[in-house]
Structure 1
Amino acid sequence: MNLLNSSAVEMLPEPVRALAERLGCESTGGAPTVRLSQIGRLRSGANASWTQYRASQTIASDECRFSWIARTGLFGLVRIEDALDHGTGRLTVTALGCLPVMRAPTCAALDRSEMMRYLAEIVWAPDAILRNRQLQWDVSGDRFLAVSCRTSGPPATVTFALDENGRIAVVKAADRPMFVAGGFRPACWFGRVFDYRRHAGYWLPFRAAVGWEIDGQPVVCWEGQLVEWVAYSEENGVRPQAS
């Protein structure tokens, strides 16, 4: 088993270590990579139509890195890629395998936006709480935690609100860069995760809804449901399913 640096774990605030334990993380190891698939629906704004999607995603637990690829549109011919790799964000939409529909410009705002998504999706890669030493944690009261990471621009920060079971229920960022009209502007971004189930030794939310505050109103733009979820360890392969 891949051993973690015990001193690094002990330096985490006690509520953060307690959260990791409640979610099923093991202080002696864990999985560096998570692979999952989702189904759901998404839209571009309050007045836009919903469209169904199916997506696959990988999330790293020991560094800030993820890749989300979705298929949507007629016969799934539209491909959306949302990713963060070595601090660089990527957001593209193509059709028919090669025709460009949209590509967000590479910039510090995109990097920061994708970093915030990575931080929020710790809910699906809980081992990152203990494994990822790039993360910085702050505790506010009994039920609020903030996690941050440095980017090429200002640090990215999201806040978690815990439910009555001490698990993450709400994710919020006051100023996530939102891509609109060919550029980025900061906006309040929020997410709700729920339907927690015991799976492969972890407590994971199997449903989520995410949106933006637009013209002062909360607008849900993305809804998803887990279909598959697998954690991989460096030495032992797939973590065994819990009974």
Structure 2
Amino acid sequence: MHTLKLSLIVILILLVVVLVLTAVASGLMSRQADREAQEILATASDKDKEIIQPADLEGLPGCVQKWLQRSQVVGQEKTYTVRLKQEGRMRTEEGKPWMPFTAVQYINIEQPGFVWMAKVKAASMISLIGKDRYYQGQGGMQIKLLGLFSLGEAKPGFEMNQGTMHRFLAEMVWYPSAALNDYIQWKELDATSARATMTWQGVSADMVFYFNAEGDMVKNVASRYREAEGKYVLNDWGGEAREYREFHGIRILNKSDIIWRYKTGDFNWLQLEVTDIDFNKPELYSK
């Protein structure tokens, strides 16, 4: 009986230690992400915000003009920074269980960059902390178990830099006026699709956007690098629209599926919802 009691006490102490270490590690990772976000947001312009005029859309493919009009950006301030909150679920492989997550993201549109910080519930009392970063043309990614143990890390390099640029392009559906920036060039493919090519810090990436008759973006696809067995390989990747919602007068895609398109079939690995978004408010969310 004494041995059993002692064992329970030891287990309880170990559990408390793990919980404390997890909280400390998660806090450190969160503070680092906050510092990076502040650095990224600080480079955005603080000048008087430009109001988007109908003439600003001239020269763009017709379907892109229709999308921007549908998004209600004309007459609004051009977006320079974004902060947003997400929730949803993700999985690592087809057939594996879905894991719920919440995330916060800060984005600079003028000087392209973002920090995305997510907390994923992998199991009861087991969480993963993930961070994606794109700044000054360089991308990076970290995943840690309980905020303590590294499960994966990708450092800047051509494939990672271009991959995070693809993400920035795909997420333009949350900040449509980014389509007007000089670092993005558009080419019409047909009446309902156009290719966007982004060039920044010596790297280029392109993505095809598909629209419906009403002007909503319904799908985007790019050939993006992913890591498989220690090597980078190219696969089609992109998002599919599920629902739109208006925030602060701007209509954005707020629910979507993110899909890798393999030769063996499509893998829907992420389903997300934007639950809150602010434009041109370059401040961190209060804790």
**Which bracket does the TM-score occupy, shorter chain normalised?**
0.7 to 0.9
Describe how 1:118-197 pairs up with structure 2 within 5 A. Answer: 118-130=168-180, 132-150=181-199, 155-173=204-222, 175-197=223-245
Contact 2:118-2:130 at 8 Å conserved across structures: yes
Shift, 1:154, TM fit? 6.1
Compute the displacement of 1:104 (Å): 1.6
Aligned pair count reads: 233
Q: Using the alignment, how far apart are the partners of 1:213 and 1:17 within structure 2?
A: 28
Equivalent residue, structure 2, for 1:80:
130
Deviation (angstroms), 1:166? 0.6
* Per-residue Cα deviation, 1:52-75 (whole angstroms, up to 9, x for no partner): 111111222223212211101344
Alignment of 1:1-150 (within 5 A): 1-3=48-50, 9=56, 12-15=59-62, 16-26=64-74, 29-72=77-120, 73-74=122-123, 75=125, 77-130=127-180, 132-150=181-199
Q: Any conservation in 1 of the 2:240–2:257 contact (CA below 8 Å)?
A: yes
Residues 28 and 225 (structure 1 numbering): CA distance in 2 closer, same or farther, change over 3 Å?
Answer: closer
Confirm or deny: 8 A CA contact 1:105 1:183 kept in the other structure.
no
Gapped regions of structure 2 (runs ≥ 5): 1-47
- Secondary structure of the 2:101 match is strand
Q: Choose between structure 1 and 2 for higher RCO, CA contacts under 8 A separated by at least 6 residues.
A: 1
Secondary structure (helix, strand or coil) at the match of 1:120 reads helix
What is the rounded CA distance, in whole Å, between the counterparts of 2:131 and 2:191 in structure 1? 36
CA change 1:13–1:91 in 2 (3 A) is same
Deviation of 1:203 (Å): 0.9
Report if the CA contact (8 A) 1:33-1:59 is conserved: yes
Instruction: Give distance in 1, aligned partners of 2:134 and 2:271.
Output: 21
Higher helix share: 2
Q: Kindly provide the amino acid, as one letter, of the partner of residue 188 in structure 2.
A: V
Give the aligned residue type for 2:174: W
Secondary structure in structure 2 of the residue aligned to 1:21? helix
Shift >6 Å, 4+ stretches: none
Q: Larger Cα Rg: Structure 1 or Structure 2?
A: 2
Residue 151 of structure 1 deviates from its aligned partner by 5.5
Aligned residues: percent identity?
22
Code of the aligned partner of 2:191: D
From 249, 252, 274, give the equivalent of 1:201. Answer: 249
Greater strand share, structure number: 1
Contact residue 52 and residue 74 of structure 2 kept, 8 A: no
Instruction: Give the deviation of 1:126 after TM superposition.
Output: 1.2
Q: Normalised by the size of structure 1, how large is the TM-score?
A: 0.85
Q: Retained in 1: the 8 A contact 2:82–2:281? A: no
Distance 1:160 1:76 in 2: 37
**Aligned equivalents of 1:218 and 1:150: distance in 2?**
28
2:168 counterpart SS class: helix
Looking at structure 1, the residues matched to 52 and 250 of structure 2 have their Cα atoms a distance apart, in angstroms, of: 21
SS of the residue 1:77 aligns to? strand
- Give the direction of change, closer, same or farther, for the CA distance of 1:154–1:2 in structure 2 (3 Å limit): closer
- List runs of 5+ in structure 1 lacking aligned partners: 238-243
CA distance in 2, matches of 1:48, 1:180: 17
The secondary structure found in structure 2 opposite 1:2 is: coil
What is the root-mean-square deviation of aligned Cα atoms in Å? 2.5
Q: Which residue of 2 aligns with 1:240?
A: none
